[in-house]
Chains A and B, each alone.
Chain A
């Protein structure tokens, strides 16, 4: 659908994108995920045609579109601030892209267009499509209002309507939900995925919220410092993070990262029950353990001391300290009754859910972990 080939972008002296190569499959929902300043919005703007790469190519359907305007590329975009035109009603906001696309300069003139049969026909056609889109998004009642009279969620819908109305080949969404409150955000997530299914178009979704990226997309591209650090299905990113950075970014509970030594094919210290096999093992590594994979279990191999338990209803977050002083977080089910603070807790961890990273550079070590004999 759209492809970036080794796209670079520099602003003045600063390199913002260091060679991004990326293919968005037809009909996919792809998220660009990363912390602020990682270049994800710049990448999106280059896809839109609002910004031009300093080097590299942008292709759509195999054709180089670097010189085409956003309208010529037939992309639609939804902005974080919604960017509705404040002086136009919702109806006029949604109709504007169609009028610009289908009517000639002459037909758009306010007085003359009433006299031209072609303009009247097109106007009626546009009005019908605006109505259709409004009905689909449930904003028919709001069509005569100005954006200033709408709530955040209603503005969001109007902005989606404006994008949807001209049936674009590609939807670009730049953090569209980050100005909404939490409950509305979850609801809009569902609506956007439903919209994606219904239109069957490709969506590219920029966000810094890993939960949004994981829950909505079928492919997530993690960007950091102007580079793609990993891309794949949400499950792949969670199960096999390519580096400490990705592991830290993905997952609703922050991953535990513990410095470990490796001797004779097994970890030294509190995680001695984990064995490592593979060639060229380093002497030191970083062990990554997600809190939700550390379960309290009587007789478990990892012993820690409970510092604090946070009861959250569905689950309990345990703040622990290992014998060597390292901090550790674990998640227990809500039904778990923690011992008094200061007491010992025994934990279990499945070898398949532990990750090992290089201590220098933080890349994932391609080794297998198993229970040591």
Chain B
């Protein structure tokens, strides 16, 4: 009977541990420069130093980084959906020789971390003279085995009658994929979009390798430019920039929280 308060306490403790870095980040982003490095810990700033935010946008082209982030994430997501959905549909609903083998390869692909293929992809992009551009940031992620797996599991549960009805109604296989299957897979697509956007918005590894031009730097890559300058002075604006970069994902998630949880529970990962 006394379990409930204990569980609540543990959850609160867990939440506090997870939230502490965020809290610290926001706190530092609002501290005056002389309060950041002190021998004792002050959780709250003595006065709010909003100029850190202004300097974050002026010392480096932060707005440009954010725009780059949007372009790269949108480009990746559009291409991923474009390639992944028809492929997943074929794997789930069409019978062709080697289907099991192809699906097996997709599953195997899930086990390979991106870092293993990073160097071959880097070399290929170098040969194609595509490095240091949006193409270098987008193309390597155009096909997602995770997306194929996610959508395949969803499409496999579509009623056969529905597909037959669409064929009788004169829909081509392409039309069935985009007019019938994809709209019905919207819960799975939402979950997939959140995973994809979070992963690529936050990705530092690949932009660091594939690009050096600040004009196409993504947000996490851009934050590094603070470090390159005289480090000590700029921690305030650095943290302000970190807040600005993190905010869209946090706000987006809070807004879509209900839909996200629902999609995972009903359509997405519960295969």
Contacts and interface: CB of A to CB of B under 8 A. Distances in A.
Interface of A: 45, 48, 50, 69-71, 75-77, 79-81, 83-87, 96-97, 100-101, 162
Contacts of A87: 183-184, 186
5 contacts: A48-B164, A70-B170, A80-B161, A85-B166, A100-B170
B169 A96 contact: yes
Contacts of A96: 169, 171, 179
Given A79-B165, A80-B161, A100-B175, 6 more contacts: A48-B168, A70-B168, A76-B168, A77-B168, A87-B183, A101-B170
Query: Which of B162, B167, B169, B183 has most A Cβ within 10 Å?
Result: B169
A75 B180 CA distance: 20
Chain A contact residues, majority secondary structure:
mixed
Contacts of A45: 164
B5 interface: no
B244 to A, nearest CB: 34
Interface residues of B, number: 17
A156 to B, nearest CB: 14
A83 B171 contact: no
Interface in B169-226: 169-171, 175, 179-180, 183-184, 186
Contacts of A70: 167-168, 170
Nearest to B170: A71
A227 B145 CA distance: 46
Interface in B134-170: 159, 161-162, 164-170
A83 B161 contact: yes
B259 to A, nearest CB: 16
Query: Which of B164, B170, B179, B186 has most A Cβ within 10 Å?
Result: B170
A158 to B, nearest CB: 12
Nearest to B167: A70
A75 B161 contact: no
B33 to A, nearest CB: 52
Contacts of B159: 81, 83
A85 B162 CA distance: 7
A83 B175 contact: no
A162 B179 CA distance: 16
Contact of B165 (A75, A77, A101): A77
B106 to A, nearest CB: 25
B175 A50 contact: no
Contact of B180 (A48, A81, A85, A101): A85
Contacts of B186: 87
A79 B171 contact: no
Nearest to A79: B161
Contacts of B180: 85
B170 A50 contact: no
Contacts of A79: 161, 164-165
A305 B147 CA distance: 72
Contacts of B166: 85
A100 B169 contact: yes
B182 to A, nearest CB: 10
A100 to B, nearest CB: 4
A71 B170 CA distance: 5
B38 to A, nearest CB: 58
A45 B163 CA distance: 13
A83 B183 contact: no
A64 B165 CA distance: 23
A71 B186 CA distance: 27
A102 to B, nearest CB: 10
Query: Which of B168, B171, B179, B183 has most A Cβ within 10 Å?
Result: B168
A50 B168 contact: yes
Query: Which of A75, A79, A162 has most B Cβ within 10 Å?
Result: A79
A95 to B, nearest CB: 10
Contacts of A77: 164-165, 168
A45 B161 CA distance: 11
Contacts of A50: 164, 167-168
A271 B180 CA distance: 63
A48 B167 CA distance: 10
A88 to B, nearest CB: 8
A101 B169 CA distance: 8
Contacts of A97: 168-170
B171 A100 contact: yes
A97 B171 CA distance: 8
A86 B181 CA distance: 11
B27 to A, nearest CB: 46
Nearest to B183: A87
Nearest to A70: B168
A311 B164 CA distance: 46
Contacts of A84: 165
Contacts of B169: 71, 96-97, 100, 162
B63 to A, nearest CB: 30
Nearest to A51: B164
A239 to B, nearest CB: 37
A45 B167 CA distance: 12
A97 B179 CA distance: 12
Nearest to A48: B168
**Closest CB pairs A-B (n = 8):** A71-B170, A83-B165, A83-B161, A100-B170, A97-B169, A70-B168, A87-B183, A79-B161
B167 A69 contact: yes
A20 B169 CA distance: 26
A349 B179 CA distance: 62
A10 B171 CA distance: 27
Contacts of A71: 167-170
Contacts of B179: 96
Contacts of B183: 87
B167 to A, nearest CB: 6
Contacts of A86: 184
A79 B179 CA distance: 20
Contacts of A81: 159, 161
A145 to B, nearest CB: 17
